[in-house]
Amino acid sequence: MQIYRKRLFLIVILAALPFLAAGAATARAEVNVNINLGPPPIVVAEPPAVVMVPQSRVYFVPDPHVDVFFFEGYWWSPRGPSWYRARAYNGPWSVVERSRVPRAVVYVPLDYRARYDRERHIPYGQWKKNHDRWDRDHRKAHKNWEKERARELKEQERHEKHEGR
C-alpha cells in the first residue's frame, strides 16, 4: 500500500508539473502600458496680468514660469515642440499643429521677456475690458510689426545659414 501511495503521489506530481511551470511563467509575466499624455498641464491659477508686445496685438503673460500668449481670441502656449491653444487663460488647453499657430505669435522674439520687461503690466480685469479696442487701435501698427519681424527672421536665417557653411 505504501508503494502504491508513493507511485500515485509521483504520478500526480509529474502530471501537475507542466501546469505548475505554466502558472509560474504566467506569474512572472509583466504587462506594461505607457500612455504619453504629453508635458505637464499648463496651469495659470489666477487671472494673469499681461504685457502687450509693442506695435503688435500680441500679449504675453509676464510670469517667468510659463510661456503664454494671447492673440485674436485665443491663448497660446508652446511646450517643447508642441503648441497648445485655449479660449480661456485657465484652459482647457488642446494641442494644435504648429502650422495653425498665428504668425504673429510665432514672430514674438525668443528674448521677449528681456526685450519687453519694462513695458506696462496690465491687470487682467483692465485688459479684459479694453483689449478689443486696443487691438483695433493697433491694427495698422501690427501689420507693420509683422512685416518687420518676418524680415528680421529671414535675415537671421540667412545669417545662420551663412555661418553654418
CB 58 within 8 A of CB 105: yes
* pLDDT band, residue 85 (cuts 50/70/90): very high
**What rounded mean pLDDT belongs to the chain?**
79
Per residue in 122-163, pLDDT (tens digit) is 999 898 898 888 887 777 777 888 888 888 888 888 877 777
What's the pLDDT at 152?
85
Q: Domain span at residue 77? A: 1-165
Per residue in 29-65, pLDDT (tens digit) is 555 444 445 555 667 767 889 999 988 899 999 987 7
Q: CB 61: neighbour CB atoms within 10 A?
A: 21
What's the pLDDT at 51?
93
Q: Domains in the chain: how many in total?
A: 1
For residues 33 and 117, what is the distance between their CA atoms, to the nearest angstrom? Answer: 45
What's the pLDDT at 148?
85
Environment class of 69 (CB within 10 Å of its CB; exposed 0-12, middle 13-18, buried 19+): buried
